[in-house]
Amino acid sequence: MRFNPKADIRRGSVRDAGGRRGGGGAPARLPMPGGAKAGGGLGAIVLVVLFLVLTQCVGGTTGTGGGTAFDQGGGTGGLPSGLESQSERYDHCRTGADAQDDPDCARKAVALSLERYWATTLPREAGGPLTPAQINTFTGQVATACGQASAQVGPFYCPADEQVYLDTTFFEDVLEGRLGGQGGDFVEPYVLAHEYGHHIQNLMGTMGKVRTQQGPESDAVRLELQADCYAGMWTRAAAGTTDDSGTAIFAELDEGDIAEALDSAKAVGDDRIQQRSGGRVDPEGWTHGSAAQRQSWFNVGYDGGDLAACDTFAADDL
Protein backbone atom coordinates (compact mmCIF):
# COMPACT_ATOMS: atom_id res chain seq x y z
CA MET A 1 0.00 0.00 0.00
CA ARG A 2 1.40 3.37 -1.04
CA PHE A 3 -0.15 6.80 -0.67
CA ASN A 4 0.06 9.59 -3.20
CA PRO A 5 2.48 12.12 -1.67
CA LYS A 6 0.52 14.97 -3.27
CA ALA A 7 -2.81 14.07 -1.67
CA ASP A 8 -4.27 16.48 0.90
CA ILE A 9 -5.43 14.32 3.82
CA ARG A 10 -6.21 17.06 6.33
CA ARG A 11 -9.96 16.45 6.08
CA GLY A 12 -9.68 12.83 7.21
CA SER A 13 -12.19 12.50 10.07
CA VAL A 14 -9.92 11.12 12.79
CA ARG A 15 -9.29 12.54 16.23
CA ASP A 16 -7.82 11.29 19.47
CA ALA A 17 -10.32 10.91 22.29
CA GLY A 18 -7.68 10.47 24.97
CA GLY A 19 -9.03 8.00 27.53
CA ARG A 20 -7.57 6.67 30.73
CA ARG A 21 -5.99 3.62 32.27
CA GLY A 22 -8.28 1.88 34.72
CA GLY A 23 -10.92 3.38 37.01
CA GLY A 24 -13.81 5.50 35.89
CA GLY A 25 -16.37 2.69 35.83
CA ALA A 26 -16.36 -0.82 34.52
CA PRO A 27 -15.87 -1.48 30.83
CA ALA A 28 -18.66 -3.14 28.86
CA ARG A 29 -19.16 -6.78 29.83
CA LEU A 30 -19.70 -8.77 26.67
CA PRO A 31 -20.79 -12.39 26.12
CA MET A 32 -18.25 -14.94 24.98
CA PRO A 33 -18.79 -17.03 21.84
CA GLY A 34 -19.70 -20.66 22.26
CA GLY A 35 -16.75 -22.72 23.39
CA ALA A 36 -14.68 -19.77 24.64
CA LYS A 37 -13.38 -19.80 28.19
CA ALA A 38 -14.67 -17.14 30.52
CA GLY A 39 -12.08 -14.49 31.15
CA GLY A 40 -10.10 -15.30 28.01
CA GLY A 41 -11.08 -12.04 26.36
CA LEU A 42 -11.02 -13.36 22.79
CA GLY A 43 -14.79 -13.42 22.37
CA ALA A 44 -15.22 -9.91 23.70
CA ILE A 45 -12.83 -8.57 21.11
CA VAL A 46 -15.15 -9.33 18.22
CA LEU A 47 -18.55 -9.27 19.94
CA VAL A 48 -18.65 -5.60 20.85
CA VAL A 49 -20.45 -4.47 17.70
CA LEU A 50 -23.18 -7.05 18.20
CA PHE A 51 -23.54 -6.03 21.84
CA LEU A 52 -23.90 -2.37 20.95
CA VAL A 53 -26.32 -3.09 18.11
CA LEU A 54 -28.58 -5.19 20.29
CA THR A 55 -28.59 -2.77 23.21
CA GLN A 56 -28.73 0.50 21.30
CA CYS A 57 -30.46 -0.20 17.97
CA VAL A 58 -32.80 -3.19 17.98
CA GLY A 59 -35.80 -1.87 19.81
CA GLY A 60 -33.55 0.80 21.29
CA THR A 61 -33.22 4.54 21.10
CA THR A 62 -31.54 5.25 17.78
CA GLY A 63 -34.61 4.91 15.65
CA THR A 64 -32.99 2.83 12.93
CA GLY A 65 -35.27 -0.12 13.53
CA GLY A 66 -38.47 1.64 12.60
CA GLY A 67 -37.47 4.76 10.70
CA THR A 68 -36.79 5.52 7.09
CA ALA A 69 -33.82 4.03 5.26
CA PHE A 70 -31.69 7.02 6.18
CA ASP A 71 -33.01 7.85 9.62
CA GLN A 72 -30.04 9.37 11.41
CA GLY A 73 -30.90 7.99 14.80
CA GLY A 74 -30.17 11.11 16.80
CA GLY A 75 -26.41 10.85 16.48
CA THR A 76 -24.69 13.84 17.96
CA GLY A 77 -21.56 13.83 15.85
CA GLY A 78 -19.64 15.16 18.86
CA LEU A 79 -17.27 13.71 21.39
CA PRO A 80 -18.96 12.05 24.38
CA SER A 81 -19.33 14.10 27.53
CA GLY A 82 -16.23 14.20 29.71
CA LEU A 83 -13.68 13.72 26.94
CA GLU A 84 -11.74 16.39 25.14
CA SER A 85 -10.18 15.77 21.77
CA GLN A 86 -6.39 15.56 21.85
CA SER A 87 -6.23 16.88 18.30
CA GLU A 88 -2.51 17.56 18.35
CA ARG A 89 -1.89 13.87 17.73
CA TYR A 90 -2.98 14.37 14.14
CA ASP A 91 -2.06 18.01 13.54
CA HIS A 92 1.05 17.10 11.55
CA CYS A 93 -0.89 14.89 9.13
CA ARG A 94 -1.27 16.96 5.99
CA THR A 95 -0.22 15.02 2.91
CA GLY A 96 0.03 11.54 1.50
CA ALA A 97 3.75 11.74 2.12
CA ASP A 98 3.00 12.04 5.84
CA ALA A 99 0.65 9.05 5.56
CA GLN A 100 3.36 6.94 3.99
CA ASP A 101 5.67 7.39 6.95
CA ASP A 102 3.28 7.65 9.92
CA PRO A 103 0.49 5.22 10.90
CA ASP A 104 -1.52 8.05 12.45
CA CYS A 105 -1.47 9.94 9.17
CA ALA A 106 -2.23 6.75 7.25
CA ARG A 107 -5.36 6.47 9.41
CA LYS A 108 -6.45 9.95 8.34
CA ALA A 109 -5.86 9.11 4.69
CA VAL A 110 -7.93 5.93 4.97
CA ALA A 111 -10.71 7.82 6.77
CA LEU A 112 -10.80 10.39 3.98
CA SER A 113 -10.90 7.66 1.35
CA LEU A 114 -13.76 5.87 3.10
CA GLU A 115 -15.75 9.08 3.38
CA ARG A 116 -15.18 10.02 -0.24
CA TYR A 117 -16.11 6.54 -1.46
CA TRP A 118 -19.35 6.26 0.49
CA ALA A 119 -20.35 9.88 -0.20
CA THR A 120 -20.55 8.85 -3.86
CA THR A 121 -21.69 5.23 -3.54
CA LEU A 122 -24.49 5.62 -0.99
CA PRO A 123 -26.55 8.21 -2.92
CA ARG A 124 -26.03 6.35 -6.20
CA GLU A 125 -26.98 2.90 -4.95
CA ALA A 126 -29.29 3.61 -2.01
CA GLY A 127 -30.72 7.04 -2.79
CA GLY A 128 -29.68 8.77 0.41
CA PRO A 129 -26.84 11.02 1.58
CA LEU A 130 -23.87 10.06 3.70
CA THR A 131 -23.51 11.50 7.16
CA PRO A 132 -19.78 10.84 7.75
CA ALA A 133 -18.68 8.77 10.72
CA GLN A 134 -16.03 10.18 13.04
CA ILE A 135 -13.14 7.84 13.86
CA ASN A 136 -11.79 8.17 17.41
CA THR A 137 -8.59 6.68 18.77
CA PHE A 138 -8.30 6.16 22.52
CA THR A 139 -6.10 4.71 25.23
CA GLY A 140 -7.20 2.23 27.86
CA GLN A 141 -10.86 3.14 28.28
CA VAL A 142 -13.27 5.48 26.56
CA ALA A 143 -16.77 6.78 27.31
CA THR A 144 -19.16 6.53 24.37
CA ALA A 145 -22.88 7.08 23.86
CA CYS A 146 -23.12 3.27 24.01
CA GLY A 147 -21.45 3.15 27.42
CA GLN A 148 -17.95 2.70 28.77
CA ALA A 149 -15.60 0.53 26.69
CA SER A 150 -12.07 -0.71 27.20
CA ALA A 151 -9.26 -1.55 24.83
CA GLN A 152 -10.11 -5.23 25.30
CA VAL A 153 -13.13 -4.99 23.03
CA GLY A 154 -11.08 -3.95 20.02
CA PRO A 155 -12.26 -1.56 17.30
CA PHE A 156 -16.02 -0.96 17.36
CA TYR A 157 -18.82 1.20 16.01
CA CYS A 158 -21.30 2.89 18.33
CA PRO A 159 -24.62 3.46 16.53
CA ALA A 160 -25.92 5.80 19.23
CA ASP A 161 -23.32 8.48 18.40
CA GLU A 162 -22.48 7.18 14.90
CA GLN A 163 -18.75 7.02 15.61
CA VAL A 164 -15.96 4.46 15.32
CA TYR A 165 -13.59 3.83 18.23
CA LEU A 166 -10.29 1.98 18.37
CA ASP A 167 -7.34 1.54 20.66
CA THR A 168 -4.50 1.29 18.16
CA THR A 169 -2.63 -1.26 20.26
CA PHE A 170 -5.26 -3.80 19.16
CA PHE A 171 -3.55 -4.66 15.91
CA GLU A 172 -0.22 -5.74 17.33
CA ASP A 173 -1.26 -6.89 20.79
CA VAL A 174 -4.45 -8.73 19.92
CA LEU A 175 -4.97 -9.34 16.22
CA GLU A 176 -1.40 -10.51 15.71
CA GLY A 177 -0.33 -11.53 19.20
CA ARG A 178 -3.43 -13.35 20.46
CA LEU A 179 -5.47 -14.15 17.35
CA GLY A 180 -2.57 -15.18 15.13
CA GLY A 181 -3.02 -12.70 12.29
CA GLN A 182 -0.01 -12.11 10.07
CA GLY A 183 -0.22 -8.33 10.24
CA GLY A 184 0.73 -5.84 7.54
CA ASP A 185 0.04 -2.24 6.65
CA PHE A 186 -3.41 -2.97 5.15
CA VAL A 187 -4.79 -4.72 8.23
CA GLU A 188 -5.98 -1.53 9.90
CA PRO A 189 -7.57 -0.15 6.70
CA TYR A 190 -9.56 -3.39 6.37
CA VAL A 191 -10.75 -3.15 9.99
CA LEU A 192 -11.68 0.52 9.60
CA ALA A 193 -13.55 -0.28 6.39
CA HIS A 194 -15.48 -3.02 8.22
CA GLU A 195 -16.44 -0.65 11.04
CA TYR A 196 -17.41 2.04 8.52
CA GLY A 197 -19.57 -0.62 6.94
CA HIS A 198 -21.51 -0.80 10.20
CA HIS A 199 -22.07 2.93 9.91
CA ILE A 200 -23.55 2.44 6.44
CA GLN A 201 -25.81 -0.27 7.87
CA ASN A 202 -26.90 2.12 10.60
CA LEU A 203 -27.76 4.86 8.11
CA MET A 204 -29.71 2.41 5.94
CA GLY A 205 -31.67 0.92 8.83
CA THR A 206 -30.16 -2.53 8.36
CA MET A 207 -29.28 -2.83 12.03
CA GLY A 208 -32.99 -2.93 12.78
CA LYS A 209 -33.14 -6.33 11.09
CA VAL A 210 -31.05 -7.99 13.79
CA ARG A 211 -33.32 -10.26 15.82
CA THR A 212 -31.42 -13.53 16.21
CA GLN A 213 -28.12 -13.17 18.05
CA GLN A 214 -26.25 -16.44 17.58
CA GLY A 215 -25.93 -19.26 15.11
CA PRO A 216 -24.41 -19.81 11.65
CA GLU A 217 -27.47 -18.33 9.88
CA SER A 218 -28.32 -15.71 12.51
CA ASP A 219 -29.06 -12.07 11.80
CA ALA A 220 -25.97 -11.13 13.80
CA VAL A 221 -23.75 -13.17 11.48
CA ARG A 222 -25.46 -11.69 8.43
CA LEU A 223 -24.80 -8.18 9.75
CA GLU A 224 -21.10 -8.87 10.23
CA LEU A 225 -20.64 -10.60 6.88
CA GLN A 226 -22.33 -7.69 5.15
CA ALA A 227 -19.87 -5.28 6.81
CA ASP A 228 -17.04 -7.45 5.45
CA CYS A 229 -18.64 -7.24 2.00
CA TYR A 230 -18.82 -3.45 2.27
CA ALA A 231 -15.13 -3.44 3.24
CA GLY A 232 -14.40 -5.38 0.07
CA MET A 233 -16.38 -2.85 -2.00
CA TRP A 234 -14.28 0.02 -0.66
CA THR A 235 -11.02 -1.88 -1.09
CA ARG A 236 -11.79 -2.45 -4.77
CA ALA A 237 -12.47 1.25 -5.32
CA ALA A 238 -9.97 2.79 -2.88
CA ALA A 239 -7.30 3.45 -5.50
CA GLY A 240 -9.78 5.66 -7.33
CA THR A 241 -10.75 7.84 -4.37
CA THR A 242 -9.52 11.43 -4.37
CA ASP A 243 -9.10 14.42 -2.09
CA ASP A 244 -11.13 17.61 -2.54
CA SER A 245 -8.95 18.76 -5.42
CA GLY A 246 -9.30 15.49 -7.32
CA THR A 247 -5.85 14.17 -6.43
CA ALA A 248 -5.71 10.42 -5.86
CA ILE A 249 -5.31 9.46 -2.20
CA PHE A 250 -3.59 6.14 -2.90
CA ALA A 251 -0.73 5.61 -5.30
CA GLU A 252 -1.06 1.83 -5.22
CA LEU A 253 -2.95 -1.08 -3.69
CA ASP A 254 -1.58 -4.48 -4.64
CA GLU A 255 -2.38 -8.15 -4.19
CA GLY A 256 -0.36 -8.23 -0.99
CA ASP A 257 -2.78 -5.72 0.55
CA ILE A 258 -5.74 -7.90 -0.38
CA ALA A 259 -3.99 -10.93 1.13
CA GLU A 260 -3.49 -9.02 4.39
CA ALA A 261 -7.18 -8.10 4.52
CA LEU A 262 -8.22 -11.71 3.88
CA ASP A 263 -5.81 -12.98 6.53
CA SER A 264 -7.32 -10.58 9.07
CA ALA A 265 -10.84 -11.70 8.13
CA LYS A 266 -9.70 -15.28 8.66
CA ALA A 267 -8.14 -14.50 12.05
CA VAL A 268 -11.40 -13.09 13.45
CA GLY A 269 -13.65 -15.88 12.17
CA ASP A 270 -15.74 -17.37 14.97
CA ASP A 271 -14.41 -20.87 14.37
CA ARG A 272 -10.80 -19.66 14.56
CA ILE A 273 -11.47 -17.74 17.76
CA GLN A 274 -13.18 -20.73 19.35
CA GLN A 275 -10.22 -22.93 18.44
CA ARG A 276 -7.62 -20.49 19.75
CA SER A 277 -9.52 -19.97 23.00
CA GLY A 278 -9.33 -23.68 23.70
CA GLY A 279 -12.94 -24.59 23.01
CA ARG A 280 -14.57 -26.76 20.39
CA VAL A 281 -15.97 -25.29 17.20
CA ASP A 282 -19.66 -24.71 17.90
CA PRO A 283 -21.53 -22.98 15.03
CA GLU A 284 -24.52 -22.35 17.30
CA GLY A 285 -22.36 -19.89 19.24
CA TRP A 286 -21.29 -17.89 16.20
CA THR A 287 -22.00 -14.18 16.03
CA HIS A 288 -19.69 -12.99 13.23
CA GLY A 289 -19.34 -15.95 10.87
CA SER A 290 -16.61 -18.45 10.14
CA ALA A 291 -13.21 -17.57 8.74
CA ALA A 292 -14.24 -18.93 5.34
CA GLN A 293 -17.49 -16.94 5.35
CA ARG A 294 -15.75 -13.70 6.25
CA GLN A 295 -13.19 -14.13 3.51
CA SER A 296 -15.88 -15.14 1.01
CA TRP A 297 -18.08 -12.10 1.62
CA PHE A 298 -15.11 -9.75 1.52
CA ASN A 299 -14.41 -11.20 -1.92
CA VAL A 300 -18.02 -10.68 -3.00
CA GLY A 301 -17.59 -6.98 -2.33
CA TYR A 302 -14.13 -6.84 -3.82
CA ASP A 303 -15.06 -8.67 -7.02
CA GLY A 304 -17.17 -5.82 -8.34
CA GLY A 305 -19.92 -6.15 -5.75
CA ASP A 306 -22.47 -3.45 -4.92
CA LEU A 307 -24.95 -2.91 -2.10
CA ALA A 308 -27.38 -5.36 -3.68
CA ALA A 309 -24.74 -8.08 -4.07
CA CYS A 310 -23.83 -7.58 -0.39
CA ASP A 311 -27.37 -8.23 0.84
CA THR A 312 -26.54 -11.07 3.20
CA PHE A 313 -30.03 -10.88 4.71
CA ALA A 314 -31.46 -12.09 1.40
CA ALA A 315 -28.87 -14.82 0.91
CA ASP A 316 -30.02 -18.43 1.26
CA ASP A 317 -26.46 -19.70 1.65
CA LEU A 318 -23.91 -17.77 3.68
Rounded to whole angstroms, the Cα distance separating 298 from 175 reads 18
The strand pair at 163-166 and 156-158 is best described as antiparallel
pLDDT digits (tens, 9 = 90+) for 81-107: 333 445 589 999 999 999 999 999 999
Contact 286, 293 (CB under 8 A): no
Q: Where are the alpha helices (DSSP H) in the chain?
A: 42-56, 96-101, 103-126, 170, 187-204, 219-237, 255-267, 270-276, 291-302
How many residues does the structure list for the chain? 318
Q: What is the pLDDT of residue 262?
A: 86
Quote the DSSP letter at residue 76.
-
Q: What's the distance, CA 202 to chain centroid?
A: 12
Which pLDDT score is estimated for 139?
85
Q: How confident is the model at residue 182 (pLDDT cuts 50, 70, 90)?
A: low
- The pTM (predicted TM-score) of the whole model is 0.81
pLDDT at 304: 84
pLDDT classification of 250: cutoffs 50, 70, 90: very high
Contacts of 226 (CB under 8 A, 6+ apart): 197, 201, 206, 297, 310, 311, 312, 313
What is the chain's mean pLDDT, rounded? 79
Question: Nearest 5°: phi and psi at 260?
Answer: -65, -40
pLDDT for 207-234, tens place per residue?
Answer: 998 999 999 999 999 999 999 999 999 9
